[in-house]
A and B are shown apart, each in its own frame.
Chain A
């Protein structure tokens, strides 16, 4: 009865269903399936899901909007030489008295690059790169920084969080530190970090550690705190020692919260990355964007933004997949 993925008919009476819902039924156009007998559906949020057709519509709408906004209307034929970028063609046309002003555009090439330019730049960046560093090298540098930041953020954050969950002294001690630093946006500390650590790769990684550590501390603290007392007592009754209770009960028991924290921290780190790469790094997607800006290479900027967005989405998908494999009991206790 659910048309969730909507790409096939599951229930028995197919002919009847097609009659009722029309040809779009198989596209998941209607959120409620063939045999729904609800009298009032509005307000029943449990029946609301993300219909793929509408996601597709919004994606197409964004691309269409981009195309329309950057399209050059009424552009003279003689300037449509192949192989030139839109920016150069428009510049050539504007320097010609006859042609000047004969075309119009919603967003000029100095405001937003066209789809065609962005597409071409994407492949140019893969092959030749911007300022001799390929897109892949930039991506690799960024990913490696985030991985190091997350690794150390987790490595230091989890034990501190556990200590806070297990000892009142540790809780009191770290509470002040965590609560004072947690609300500070990592970006606000950038000037200090540059003064203290200088500029370069390690400073960027340290900023990412700062971005992730507080989240990991709080996630692991709540993971320990929320452990069911019966579970811990059962373990002691079964002859477990304190280290065994820690590593075989509290740690696996906190995994769901740790995972949530990790996903959150990764999102924040990825968001802080561009700022972190301001700190005098030559490579990295953030530094690519900043290097392209003074030259008005908006095509490079947009490619950088799209790659950052896609990688962010991909990381979240991978983590969700890992979560379903590693913590299958989540939400089923």
Chain B
């Protein structure tokens, strides 16, 4: 497992007409292996931009990102990505979606087959291997996406609002699954979300990001994810400490929103 290090990352988008957009300003942090970092913030704060830089889809304007000492220059299988939706391959069955990564890397077929079976079991889709992905519900599709990502055994898993398109009940179940995967595999996870509750429940570290320019406003160490599986999630979310933190973070975000509104820039 490798540590992730982000040093003085700047991201400026050149807009054809108008001023350049400062999406990220002087973002620096270190993430030791095996942590679950959640990113929270109002829209336009650069959460997704940061995630895309970590994934290697975007090159930062300045600064550098290293994983285990190696500078990230492009997408790679040591950094898996789970998207909000629509990233599964409809022409492949569930099994073949999960086996996509190993197949691209020309791993042995028997080995891959065993791995796929194991992963189907881990994400709770045992027996669904030969189903078509378009037959599955949204929650099950995200389970496939998680398994597909795990099949490559990445060091870091990047999740861009992975549960954003799910209904509330499915969402809670999937939160449990993400926690379980994180604890069982010991992988680093960076998760972007719009839900304060989700960020608090899942993250053992939380960044609240602020817009214009996008930057890290607060850096929290959180206790909840640690025993998130042992304690009943409802109970945990109803605990006074959890509520306090939620209110604290919500008020920070509300302040930012109001500032944006005050400047008359909100759309």
Contacts and interface: CB of A to CB of B under 8 A. Distances in A.
Nearest to B77: A239
Given A238-B100, A238-B101, A238-B104, A233 B57 contact: yes
Nearest to A241: B104
A268 interface: no
Contacts of B88: 231
Contact of A234 (B76, B81, B91, B132): B81
Interface residues of B, number: 29
Chain A contact patch, size range: 20 to 34
Nearest to A255: B91
A235 to B, nearest CB: 7
Contacts of B148: 234, 238
A252 interface: yes
A119 interface: no
Contact of B75 (A236, A249, A332): A236
Interface in A190-215: none
A120 interface: no
By secondary structure, the B interface counts as loop
Contacts of B87: 228, 230-231, 233-234
B182 interface: no
Contact of B89 (A233, A236, A252, A328): A252
B80 A237 contact: yes
Contact of A329 (B105, B132, B145, B152): B132
Contacts of A233: 55, 57, 75, 81, 83, 87
A294 interface: no
Interface in A239-280: 239-241, 244, 248-249, 252-253, 255
A186 B105 CA distance: 47
Contact of A249 (B83, B89, B105): B89
Contacts of A255: 91
Contacts of B85: 230
Nearest to A245: B104
Contacts of B145: 234
B104 A244 contact: yes
Contact of A238 (B83, B86, B90, B152): B152
B134 interface: yes
B132 A328 contact: yes
Contact of A237 (B79, B86, B89, B90): B79
Contacts of B76: 237, 239
A255 B152 CA distance: 27
B134 A332 contact: yes
B83 A230 contact: yes
A248 to B, nearest CB: 8
Contacts of A253: 89, 91
Given A230-B86, A231-B86, A239 B105 contact: yes
A333 interface: yes
Nearest to A231: B87
Contacts of B149: 237-238
A250 to B, nearest CB: 11
Contacts of A240: 100, 104
Interface of A: 228, 230-231, 233-241, 244, 248-249, 252-253, 255, 327-329, 332-333
Interface of B: 55, 57, 74-77, 79-81, 83-91, 100-101, 104-105, 132-134, 145, 148-149, 152
14 contacts: A231-B87, A234-B145, A235-B100, A236-B57, A238-B80, A238-B104, A238-B148, A239-B76, A240-B100, A241-B104, A328-B134, A329-B133, A329-B134, A332-B90
Given A238-B148, A241-B104, A327-B91, 18 more contacts: A230-B84, A230-B85, A233-B55, A233-B57, A233-B75, A235-B100, A238-B80, A238-B100, A239-B76, A248-B104, A253-B91, A328-B132, A329-B90, A329-B132, A332-B134, A333-B86, A333-B90, A333-B134
